[in-house]
Amino acid sequence: MIVVEDDDSMREAIERLLDAAASSARAYASAEALLAWDKLEEAACIVSDLRLPATSGLDLLAQLRTRGGYPPLILITAHDAPGLREEAMKRGAAAYLAKPFRGPH
């Protein structure tokens, strides 16, 4: 599992959550840092923030698609807007989650 999140505390929280679920995670603060990793094809899944400093989560998804064989990408955002979920899914996101995440009721 890969986490791409520019907010340090959110990145660490998601990483801890994934580690607790017995899924070791690698974490990056930017899309550029992830794209520089030479073992990207080993990733089972990517969880990426939608709003990142330079390359957005949607742009990251587009770049991965041009490479082919990319892992599923789940987009997360605290800035949900009408139509954004549909756009993300149309572009190939595996899922779209709005922050804060809600637990079971």
- Determine if the pTM surpasses 0.85: yes
**Domains defined for the chain, CATH in brackets:** 2-98 (3.40.50.2300)
pLDDT of residue 102: 67
The confidence score (pLDDT) of residue 58 equals 95
Determine the pLDDT at residue 103: 56
Q: How many CB atoms lie within 10 A of CB 6?
A: 15
With 0-12 / 13-18 / 19 or more C-beta atoms within 10 angstroms meaning exposed / middle / buried, residue 76 is buried
Confidence at residue 88, expressed as pLDDT on a 0 to 100 scale: 95
Predicted confidence pLDDT, tens digits, the chain (105 residues) = 899 999 999 999 988 888 888 778 899 999 999 999 988 888 899 999 999 999 999 999 999 988 887 899 999 999 999 999 999 999 999 999 998 776 554
pLDDT for the residue numbered 40: 86
**What does R_g of the chain's alpha carbons equal in angstroms?**
13
